[in-house]
Structure 1
Amino acid sequence: MVPDISTGSHTPGLLRYLYGPGRRDEHTDPHLVAAWDLGAAPDPGRDADATPLTLAIALDLHVDLVAAERGKLPPKHVWHCPVRTAPGDRMLTDAEWAQVARRIVAAAGIAREDDPNGCRWIAVRHAEDHIHIVATTVQLNGHRPPRYGEARRVQAECRSIEAEFGLRRLKRGDGTAAKRPTSAEQAAAQRTGAERTDREELRSRVRTAVAAAGSVAEFFDLLEEQGVVVKKRVAPSGDVIGYSVALPGQKVAFGGGKLAPDLSLPRIRERLDATTPEPADAWPPMHPRHRLADQLLTVHRAVDGDSDPEAQGHIAALGEALDALPAAYPRSPARGELKAAAVAFERASRSRVRAEHAAAGDLRWAVRSLLHPSAAGGDGEMAGALIAAVILAVEAAVRWHQAHGHAQQQAAARAALDHLRTAYRQAARPQLAALATRAPAPTERDRLTALMQQVLPEQAARILADPAWPALAAVLAQAAADGHNAERLLWQAAAQRELDTASRPAEVLVWRLDRLAANPTAHEQRAHAARTHTAPHQPSTTPDRTHTDTTTPKRHRPHR
């Protein structure tokens, strides 16, 4: 059961809509199911002499008395809350909807049971699956009802109603969800044939700009490059203190905080300021896609640590990584699923835990590097490795949200996983098939089989039986041909993380070796630290550094 509270200032206009045909003639048999006093509330749906205007006059009685006394109408005095059952729920009767309405206005503090000073309110039904509750928020004594925390109380009451009425049990919210598109916004999108509403499209563009930006000024530049109309709110001091965005040709603009709680300018500035221009640890040279895949491993360590703010900071940065992936692979067959994964994970990127964004500074910089022009091109290149790394990070986020009781975030992360796994199949399977065609000759493959049995004796049988073994053999053979020490690379790949839970261990090793071969020294420290916790054969040879560039590149600005 989904409530959606909003406020306004014109009672007659709202009632004309509720009792009218709707924007697409979808309203059928509009009528009252409940009111502050059914005997005193004229029903235009059942009484031929009643009109929406006469009902509005009755609802506005307390409002008009206050306006006559003070000389002006109270601001935002119209309280509107559509309440909808979930798809697949049974159809409630009018009497049941009346119970729902009375419980919701009581939970909100609009009109508590047996309160003589309660506000006037009605519940209109014009469809099978929902009602509209309308109240005027002035009490008989002229006071306004206290509304702080009403959304939380109404949501809690809806969860109780679901349980008692045998309806689908929705996840309990925590006040960090983005605002849903209104019915008017959805209708406008349907009329124009748009895939999503303006609010949803702008939210996606703003999140992508945040992921790529290195400063607030650059954030605004990136929005304008995407065709977004930006209006800045400037303080007398000249400082920018807020912003709103709109699509070209559209009159309706949305403030950042109306798109999502973490997209207000103070929250964006907090994230941008937390990422230093030069991370503390110098990075070895590697492709931005490899760098991001490597940095995604930090999500596991953060969520398994003792600091919840640091874990939330990494999960927020993981959301930015998902926002960046569709832009990084503009022509990939997996792009549609990557976009869907980013949209789904958006809800999982926030919780009531205040994020320590500085803890994920290197991960956020790796995301920005991915969107730099130097990383463009090669849509299929390394997509499997990067998506596989994202999947592991999102799985860690699922575990963290589950452990903390974040039901909505956990469900959103699981939905993102479904899209990511589909994207992985679309992007990785062709890469693995292409690698398999380059499998080495039988003699060389026999040598690599013996190497596998020597380095990973406990996993060798599963790896050799994996359909991806020919692709792994090709990667190992190529690494050796490029002058790398294949034994050392294989040991380092196995030491990164256990393989026991991997259903396709050879496939996992392909992507780990893909990153390692790009820069083997980048993983020396992690492999050394893991040596005491893993039991694969430790090679006696030293790693070949012939093809390793140990210089540190200068930083570049993210793509504008």
Structure 2
Amino acid sequence: MITTARSGTNTLKALKYLYGPGRRNEHTDPHLVASWDGLAPDPGRDWEATLAQLRDALDLHVVRYGRPVAKHVYHRMVRADPGDRNLSDEEWGQVARRVVAAAGIVPDGDPEGCRWVAVHHGDNHIHILATTVRADLTQARLRGDQYRTEAELTRIESELGLKDWSGTRTREYRAGIPKRAKSPELRKAERLGQGETGRERLRTGVRRALAGAADEGEFLARLTAQGIAFEVRRLPSGDAKGYTFALPTGDPGPPVWFSGSQLAADLTLPKIHERFAAGLDQPAPNRPGDQGRPAAVRYRASTTADRVTRSFDDEPQAGQVAAVVSGTIETLDALALTSPVLSRKEINQAARALEYAAVARTRTARSDLRTMRSAARELLYAGPTGGRGEEGTAAATILSSLILLALVIAKWHAAQGHRHQADAARTAADHLRTAYGRHAGRPIALLDTRGRQLPEPVRERQTATVRQVLPADQAVRVLAEDDWAALAATLAEAEAAGHDPAVLLTHAAGRRELASADSPAAVLTWRIRRDARLPVPAPTITPEDHRTAAALSRSTAARPAQPTPQPGMSRGPSLPAAPVPGPLATTSHRPVHRP
């Protein structure tokens, strides 16, 4: 169940809405299911009863009070989940009585409580309408009513066998998630034909301005470049108190302003300054030689994501996870801004979904935040990518790393019992999978073709390497995958380039979280190609490929058995820290797959 409340000054107007057709004709068969004494007139079922009579009964104590009461009307909606069974009028009546008691309208055992009614509309929800002056002519104490009501609804759900939404009712969850748009904002967006409300678009714009920004000056300059208005509110002492933001509007009248806290808990001035205080690993806008090389930056960012993912092995504390989530959102925003159209929307949706996996009310770990924000900054300053060839392969590599990072975030939340945050992180991973498939399909298909054309002795040697390096259950899974041929081709290519496939595979598998991947073989393929600086797969099998494969095949009989590899063993070049892959892959008919 979900519940929201609002206040007003006109009892009759509120009753007209409850007994009327609704704004979209959603009100069917409105009638009372409960009231303060069970005897209130019901204009929905009693043809002689009128709305004015019901208004006069509800307002009795307000009139007796003798003085104006600000916003004396209390209106609370309680709605069951669409998947729940339909509750009877009797059950809704019990729900209403427990809700008004929890809210403070009529505390349990208090004969002097306020007057109230509960109206059922046919849909699986009720509206509770009350006036806030009690029979003893004092005003009801409603402070904290939302938390008390939600706690009571959690108990009601358990007793009635309804869907448990308790995860959304904790203070931590409510403090961490983005602030939801209100009904007038939703109606305005619908009227203007906009897919998002102004609040949502403004929140995304502020986050994009914040992604990788080194300091407040750069952040504010980026807001200006997007056309976002801002003000820094100050205390009488002159110290900064907070931010307010507004989008330019096409409607008549002034723009609508939102404080940072009205957008999201981590967009307040103290939280934004906390990011700047964490610093950046690379304060310069870009490294020498990176201008026009977004692929190299994407490979480095994927290495950063792998390193952060590995940190979850040590059961991180909430502050560390908060830093990772915050930094990952910045990385995704930077990636969306610099990605081609075919994947930009999905990456942006992943960032928006991950906002609901935030960890609230904790201080973030500066080192992890600094690492991820630095990756976001590099992505932005390296410039946009066309998404083809080397850049497309680099995009697939970083997306595969970010998918696994989203999944470990989901696992951490699930272990803490944060069901909704875990679901949000999984949703982010799903969006990233879609974006990944749009970049990875062609190069994986080319590698698959090459792998299937490898001579049998070469395939057997790579199979033996996998069985030596990986745990038995993981090796069985990898060898049974559709993407195994692509991994075999990559291992053979690395071997021909002078690397030890066993060492490369050990290094790639040691980065953890293969168990969460849909295709561990694909993840290993991207990691090995990145670490060994292998070129982008060519669109066809060239004569040189055949000559290389034949040479490898002839050398099989002469090669002695390899010992089980250990980390650090290598007979080829050492593993590079900053790979720069090679040229373009162009065609494929392989279906999009998931890493």
Identify the TM-score tier after normalising by the shorter chain: 0.7 to 0.9
Deviation sequence 1:473-520 (CA, Å, 0-9, x none): 55456667878776654443233337577664431221112332459x
Q: Which runs of 5+ in 2 are unaligned?
A: 535-563, 581-595
Alpha carbons 1:211, 1:324 under 8 Å: kept: yes
RMSD: 4.0
Paired position in structure 2 for 1:24 = 24
Change (3 A) 1:547 1:462: same
Indicate which of 243, 256, 263 corresponds to 2:260: 256
Q: Cα offset for 1:47?
A: 5.4
2:202 is equivalent to residue 202 of structure 1:
yes
**Residue aligning to 1:86:** 81
- SS of the equivalent of 2:244 reads strand
Matched, 1:311 2:311: no
1:171-182 equivalence runs, <5 A: 171-173=166-168, 174-175=170-171, 176-177=173-174, 178-182=178-182
Q: Which whole-Å CA distance do the structure 2 matches of 1:537 and 1:450 have between them?
A: 19
**What amino acid is aligned across from residue 416 of structure 2 in structure 1?**
H
Q: 1:244 to 1:546 in 2, by over 3 A?
A: closer
Segment of structure 1 superposing worse, 29-38 or 500-509: 500-509
Query: Residue in 1 aligned with 2:404?
Result: 392
Q: Contact between 2:468 and 2:565, CA under 8 Å: does it hold in 1? A: no
Cα deviation, residue 145, structure 1: 3.8
Q: Distance in 1 between matches of 2:87 and 2:367?
A: 50
Residue 339 of structure 2 aligns with an amino acid whose one-letter code is: Y
Contact in 2 for aligned 1:341/1:416 (Cα 8 Å): yes
C-alpha distance in 1, partners of 2:303/2:570? 26
Match of 2:301 among 279, 292, 295: 292
Does 1:107 pair with 2:70? no
TM-score by length of 1: 0.79
* Aligned: 1:265 with 2:258: no
Q: 1:547 to 1:12 in 2, by over 3 A?
A: closer
Residues 340, 384 of structure 2: 8 Å contact kept: no
Give the aligned partner of residue 406 of structure 1.
418
CA contact (8 A) 1:81 1:133 kept: yes
- More displaced 10-residue stretch of structure 1: 114-123 or 269-278: 269-278
- Percent identical among aligned pairs is 41
CA shift for structure 1 position 389: 1.0
Task: Check whether the contact 1:159–1:172 (CA below 8 A) recurs between aligned residues.
Answer: no
Is 1:355–2:367 an aligned residue pair?
no
**Distance change in 2, residues 1:271/1:501 (3 Å):** closer
Matches within 5 A, 1:77-476: 77-173=72-168, 174-175=170-171, 176-177=173-174, 178-230=178-230, 233-236=233-236, 237=238, 239=240, 241-246=242-247, 248-250=249-251, 252-276=256-280, 278=282, 287-297=296-306, 298-302=308-312, 304-305=314-315, 307-332=317-342, 334-351=343-360, 353-378=362-387, 380-436=392-448, 442=454, 450=461, 453=464, 457-459=468-470, 466-472=481-487, 475=490
Question: Is 2:70 the partner of 1:45?
Answer: no
Write out per-residue CA displacement over residues 162-219 of structure 1, whole angstroms, 9 at most, x where no aligned residue. Answer: 2222322334331333444444444444444433433333333333333343334443
**1:509 alignment counterpart:** 524
Q: Which moved more, 1:196-205 or 1:161-170?
A: 196-205
| 8 Å CA contact 1:232, 1:243 repeated in 2 | yes
Letter aligned with residue 374 of structure 1: G
C-alpha spacing 1:5/1:434, structure 2 compared with 1 (3 Å): farther
Change in Cα spacing, 1:35 to 1:412, as seen in structure 2 (3 Å) is same
The residue aligned with 1:558 is: none
Contact 1:351 1:406 in 2 (8 A): no
Change over 3 Å in CA distance of 1:306–1:497 after alignment to 2: closer
Contact 1:100 1:161 in 2 (8 A): yes
Task: Give CA deviations for 1:245-280 in whole Å, capped at 9, x if unaligned.
Answer: 346225654433233333333333333333346579
AA aligned to 1:541 is: R
Deviation at 1:301, TM superposition (A): 0.9
CA distance in 2, matches of 1:493, 1:171: 40
Please state how far the C-alpha of 1:455 moved relative to its aligned partner: 7.8
AA of the residue aligned to 2:436? Y
State the match for 1:531 in structure 2. none
Q: 1:289 offset after TM fit, Å?
A: 1.7
Decide whether aligned partners of structure 1 residues 54 and 325 sit closer, same or farther in structure 2, where only a CA change above 3 A counts.
Answer: farther
**Inter-partner Cα distance in structure 2 for 1:548 and 1:92:** 61
User: Which whole-Å CA distance do the structure 1 matches of 2:248 and 2:145 have between them?
Assistant: 32
Counterparts of 1:35-74 in structure 2 under 5 Å? Answer: 35-39=35-39, 41-46=40-45, 52=51, 55-56=54-55, 58-63=57-62, 68-69=66-67, 73-74=69-70
* CA distance in structure 1 between the partners assigned to 2:91 and 2:577 by the alignment: 73
181-190 or 456-465, larger mean C-alpha shift: 456-465
Equivalent position SS for 2:211? helix
Q: Distance in 2 between matches of 1:500 and 1:36?
A: 57
Aligned match of 1:529: none
Tell me the distance in 2 between the aligned counterparts of 1:396 and 1:480. Answer: 32
- Cα shift readout 1:120-164 (whole Å, capped 9, x = no counterpart): 322222342211122333434454444444323222221222222
Partner AA of 1:496 in structure 2: R
SS in 2 for 1:372: helix
The number of residue pairs the alignment matches comes to 528
Asked if the contact 2:245–2:259 (Cα under 8 Å) also holds between the matched residues in 1, the reply is yes
SS of 2:164's equivalent? coil
**1:396 Cα deviation from its structure 2 partner:** 1.3
1:530 aligns to what? none
* Structure 1 residues 218 and 21, CA gap change in structure 2 (3 angstroms): farther
Residues 455, 537 of structure 1: 8 Å contact kept: no
- Residue by residue, what CA displacement relative to the aligned partner does 1:312-361 show, whole Å, maximum 9, x if unpaired? 322332333344443332412x4443333333322112345553355421
Letter in 2 for 1:136: T
Instruction: Select between 42-51 and 159-168 the one with higher mean Cα deviation.
Output: 42-51
TM-score by length of 2: 0.75
